[in-house]
Amino acid sequence: MSTHLLSAADLTRDEAVAILDTAAELARISGRTVKKLPTLRGRTVVNLFFEDSTRTRISFEAAAKRLSADVITFSAKGSSVSKGESLKDTALTLEAMGADAVIVRHGASGAPHRLAHSGWIDGVVVNAGDGTHEHPTQALLDAYTLRHHLADGEGALDGRRVVIVGDVLHSRVARSNVLLLRTLGAQVTLVAPPTLLPVGVEAWPCEISYDFDAALAGADAVMMLRVQAERMNAAYFPSTNEYSRRYGLDVRRASLLADGGIVMHPGPMNRGMEISAEVADGPRSVIVEQVTNGVHVRMAVLYRLLGAAEGPGASAEPTLSGSFEEAAS
């Protein structure tokens, strides 16, 4: 793995499989009564969230803490960022405070790339979702979940058929998943109305279809993407009802999956819009499991990015105050 994790394309097949294997190992450990590992003692991990995303933030916090890192969470709301502080000044502040890793969520595509390559900070950068670009740890946790159900929790995903449905145009989850699942040997089909597919999508390493039923037939997994209501106002589709009829996952459609096929969603869901409640809560759904797997996969990413290097040996005392809040243990 390179120094940072900015894109799912940063990962080779061997690296991706190694992360999934590490996550599986960490999952076994978290079955114990004492879940904590000393691996990142004395290291500081900063959660830098310019966008609200409670679930991703909590997942990264839990992952870092189980590895005994000091965790600082910096959310845009109520901080100097909301007072107009630039990405650069925020980064310089974090650098001055000695962050070993910065987990960044930002509304602008490429912001983590900018942080990693601008010379503003020395620490490792992990992309926790940037604009409409990528969300590589989501793809890793999805791959982990797929592997668990479809490949006995081992190796890669060769030959498995995965259908990703919805707002691909604005989805960082879709971009990262197409890249990673392809790296792992899966066959991916994107299904969306043409308005919600980016120009040039034909060149992506996947199939494209407008016909949800046809794409679903015999597939091993379907991943539903969140569709935001404001897309309707921008005329991407005529109405939520029409969207739901053509691209929503209901019980009938879910039954088209192969035996043992699973239903996934990165959350948060719009029940009744892209997915019916019956399917979301149904037997094929692994949506809650995805959340659990997220912690293990993020532990594995931090472990592999930071664990190899020796810590400074300093004490793990919290050293920060002011507008920073040290996340509660």
Beta bridge partners of 162: 188, 221
Which of 28, 38, 96, 203 forms a contact with other proteins (CB under 8 A)?
Answer: 203
Nearer to other proteins, 199 or 328 (CB): 199
CA-wise closest residue to 297 among 130, 5, 127, 60: 60
Q: Which two tokens stand for residue 262?
A: 């699973």
Cβ-count burial 237-262 (b if 16+ within 10 Å, e if not):
beebeebbeebbbeeebbebbeeebb
State the Cα–Cα distance between residues 186 and 303, nearest whole angstrom. 26
Q: Nearest approach, Cβ of 52 to other proteins (angstroms)?
A: 18
State the Cα–Cα distance between residues 55 and 46, nearest whole angstrom. 16
98 with 119: CB under 8 angstroms?
no
Region of 14-22, 194-202, 249-257, 296-304 interacting with other proteins (CB under 8 A): 194-202
Radius of gyration, CA atoms only, the chain? 20
Residue 85 is given by DSSP the state -
Which of 18, 58, 108, 291 forms a contact with other proteins (CB under 8 A)?
Answer: 108
78 with 87: CB under 8 angstroms?
no
Nearer to other proteins, 97 or 108 (CB): 108
User: Should residue 131 be labelled a site residue for other proteins when binding is judged by CB under 8 A?
Assistant: yes
State the Cα–Cα distance between residues 300 and 307, nearest whole angstrom. 9
Which of 4, 65, 106, 161 forms a contact with other proteins (CB under 8 A)?
Answer: 106
Which of 42, 98, 185, 198 forms a contact with other proteins (CB under 8 A)?
Answer: 198
Which of 4, 149, 172, 253 forms a contact with other proteins (CB under 8 A)?
Answer: 172
Q: Nearest approach, Cβ of 162 to other proteins (angstroms)?
A: 19
Which of 57, 65, 105, 175 forms a contact with other proteins (CB under 8 A)?
Answer: 175
User: Should residue 206 be labelled a site residue for other proteins when binding is judged by CB under 8 A?
Assistant: no
Nearer to other proteins, 133 or 231 (CB): 133
User: Should residue 4 be labelled a site residue for other proteins when binding is judged by CB under 8 A?
Assistant: no
Give the binding site for other proteins (CB under 8 A): 86-88, 106-111, 113-114, 117-118, 130-134, 172, 175, 198-201, 203-204
